[in-house]
Chain A
Amino acid sequence: MKWLFAALTGVLMSVSVAAAESAPDELVKTVTDEVLTIVRNDKDIQSGNAKKAIALVEAKVLPHFNFTRMTQLAMGREWRNASPAQQQTLTSEFKTLLVRTYSKALTEYRNQTIEYKPLAAKAGDTEVKVKTLVKQPNSAKPIELDYSLEKQDAGWKVYDIEVAGVSLVTNYRDTFATEVRNNGIDGLIKALQTKNASAK
């Protein structure tokens, strides 16, 4: 749906290939523009070619996401209860899940346009929120799409995306918590692996 597509474009912003210390909002804009231009010109992706969409996401988006932190946030208190091996598996499975979800949303792109809001952050901030608006072709209300980025030596990395106020990390936090409560951390890992194996 529209907001999940917007979640997808959230991932797109992480593309910036050689970008050194570009400002976070410039990063978001550069990457989003780049990826959307590709999608706009690619009929294959628009008609549902998942492999191509995944390839695009992996090439252009992955480098700018901090999946470890996202997994840690989604796990909440349970992260500390997981062994380093479990943490690694969780991060890897969660990453696969997110990549596939975003790729799917990319295939639903239908010429929405993005409005970038001015960055409300101070010079020394190491965590910022970049706000954008996804405009729909019909008269539906535009959707807010906000990226939470943290500053690392390697550049700015995304650790959360909010679509229409729905934080990705928070949404998965409850799902994960329920799964861990019912089946333990290994149960969660298994559920993620089953899910990732099922479609592809």
Chain B
Amino acid sequence: MSGIDNLKGTVVRHSLNKRVGQYFLAMCAAGLLAGCATSGNPKDPIEGFNRAMYGVHEGIDTVLLKPVATGYDAVLPDPVQTGVTNFFANIADIPTAVNNLLQGKVAYAFNDLGRVAVNTTVGIVGLFDVATGMGLEKHDEDFGQTFGWWGVGEGPFVFLPILGPRTSRDAVGVWLDIYTDPLNYIDDVPVRNSLWALLAVNKRANLLPADKVIEEAALDKYSYIRDAYLQNRRNQVFDGNPPPRDE
């Protein structure tokens, strides 16, 4: 009986990865067709494709994700939303520890594992972040940052529907992030899908204030988001100390 469940689990994991893989292939194919509209912008060589994808993304967001997130935000009290955010942030500390290790930041990795231990127990399955108050600071690492730390260049900027802005390096990285996400290894499909959905809605709700400010600030939302993302990403990869840019 458990052998069949294991097989089911593996098949489900593979089909998620297959879907992710198909998603990227589809994006690449669409890109080859739409992306021939190259712009003069050296840091966004496939701008035509990206703007098209941004349009798709905004469409999905307007029709589906934002209304759900807005409802979620209105209904759930702030402390509960904070609890949900903390719960997922706690789980994310595991891949963060892995990536810190891959970058040779051993002390940080142990710090992160310490966070998970404390927050899962004292913090009640991560709902409360007690670790930060204990001096275990929060880090944020992923495979894209690891590749960047190892010296892999950013590659062309790419905008993916739902996932959002990425450098090409980070687009590859995010695939690995999804594959190694602890949530991915939950065998119970309905539970896992509900958790993925909750993660997405909670994240989107946390970004609602940003929406309002970007609306106000941006002459052109697409390029504003792109440029902010690229700057922020460089800052993230180098943990706050990016090498000076020759601009």
Contact = CB atoms under 8 A, between A and B. Distances in A.
A104 B210 CA distance: 10
B91 to A, nearest CB: 12
A181 B40 contact: yes
B214 interface: yes
B86 A166 contact: no
A3 interface: yes
Interface residues of B, number: 40
Contacts of B41: 178
B89 interface: yes
Interface string B214-227: 10111110011001
B11 to A, nearest CB: 35
Contacts of B231: 165-167, 170-171
Given A4-B210, A165-B232, A191-B219, A171 B227 contact: yes
Interface string A156-200: 000000001111001100110011010000000001100100010
Contacts of A166: 227-228, 231-232, 235
Nearest to A98: B217
B213 interface: yes
A104 B223 contact: no
Nearest to B207: A1
B57 interface: no
Residue in A3, A107, A137, A139 with the greatest tally of chain B CB atoms within 10 Å:
A139
Given A175-B223, A175-B224, A105 B140 contact: no
A5 interface: yes
B82 A137 contact: yes
Residue in A8, A97, A170, A178 with the greatest tally of chain B CB atoms within 10 Å:
A178
29 contacts: A2-B209, A2-B210, A4-B210, A4-B214, A5-B213, A97-B217, A101-B216, A104-B213, A104-B217, A107-B212, A108-B213, A110-B78, A138-B89, A139-B85, A139-B119, A141-B139, A144-B240, A164-B235, A165-B232, A165-B234, A166-B227, A166-B228, A166-B235, A170-B231, A170-B247, A171-B224, A174-B227, A175-B219, A179-B220
Interface of B: 40-41, 78, 81-82, 85-86, 89-90, 119, 129, 132, 138-140, 206-207, 209-214, 216-220, 223-224, 227-228, 231-232, 234-236, 240, 242, 247
